Amino acid sequence: MVPEEWPIDAASQRREATPARRADRGRLSTVRADFFLDPAARLTEQERALMRRMLAELVGNIADELAAAAGTRTAANDSDRSGLVARLTAAGLLDDPDLIELLLRRADEERVAAVLRARSGARSSLLQSLVAADSPQVAAAAMALILARGRRRDRFGQARIDFNDLPAATARRLSVAIAAALGARGEGAGALAAAAEALAEQRDGAKGSDSLHHALTAALAAEQALDESLLQQMAEQGEVALLAEGLAHRCGFAGAIAWDHLLFGGEGRFVLLLRMAGVSRPFAGALLASLGDLAGIADPAAEIAAFDALSEDRADQARTWLQLAPEYRNAAAAIDGRHG
């Protein structure tokens, strides 16, 4: 069974086809950059559409919070916040690596989850079953995640980003940028600037999606329940974020590292993650079969051979390295690069 394709970003396609689109040389620098981009690395129309919609909704929600707190009015003709997003984009204020990474990851979660559920035919019921667990900690963590996911869907069931999901620095930068776009140098600038600072302070990282997934996997691990059977259920039901966090917990490092190895698993990264997590060969083979092509793996047989060839010492070394602080690893990589 093949899942339905995501909605195409039809609005942008219509704009590109319109005769009113200017063909002057002012576009040349953008066209040149776009022309030479690696096709394999470019966003699909589905990814672009989803990321644009999530960004517009996030910006709109923040703008509404700021306007309400500052007692200012918002533009009546910008209900979808397209004008506000356009102003912020033109000023380069939305080109935040952490923000774009979050949008891309959320889009990847949606894509991979849909494919995995279609392949297995499994219903997404894992969290509901965990709510009924004997462990109060597991049940509470599962319920908290269910409630949080509800806030990350709009009334049409489409994915959205919650303010608490943003890294602290990104949350503050985005709040201040949106406040400036709303108030500029007008009379309400002071109130909007103060509202932006207050909103940034209200961000609660413990309520962010990553923290909630981490809390659930930690509770499961404490009950000795984070076994391969449960990890397999996560994969079959499209709980890819929970699967990455579960593997990360077994490895003892951050969930973002496991996500990168899981969804960008070529060149041995996927099987290295599984080795570091200490999973069995049958589980590794099953996960490669269901998720390998989505992780950029063209030859699962070669990858399982690489899994067999990886020694425990090599896995231990890699795990110990990835458990170090990212600042240390970045500094060490920079020093190694400078010295050849």
11 pLDDT band, cuts 50/70/90, is very low
Looking at residue 14, its pLDDT comes to 44
96-113 pLDDT per residue, tens:
999 999 999 999 999 999
What contacts 24+ positions apart, CB below 8 Å, involve 226-234?
226/250, 228/279, 228/280, 228/283, 231/279, 231/283, 232/283, 232/286, 232/287, 233/122, 233/126, 234/126
State yes or no: pLDDT of 340 exceeds 60: no
Q: What is the DSSP-derived secondary structure letter of residue 123?
A: -
- At position 27, the amino acid (one-letter code) is R
Q: Using one digit for the tens of pLDDT, what is the confidence trace for 192-236? A: 999 999 999 999 999 999 999 999 999 999 999 999 999 999 999
User: Are 63 and 22 a contacting pair, CB within 8 Å?
Assistant: no
Length of the chain: 340
CB 290 within 8 A of CB 236: yes
| Confidence label for 128 from pLDDT (cuts 50, 70 and 90) | very high
Quote the pLDDT of residue 331: 94
Q: What tokens appear for 124 in the block?
A: 């997404």
- pLDDT tier, 332 (very low <50, low <70, confident <90, very high otherwise): very high
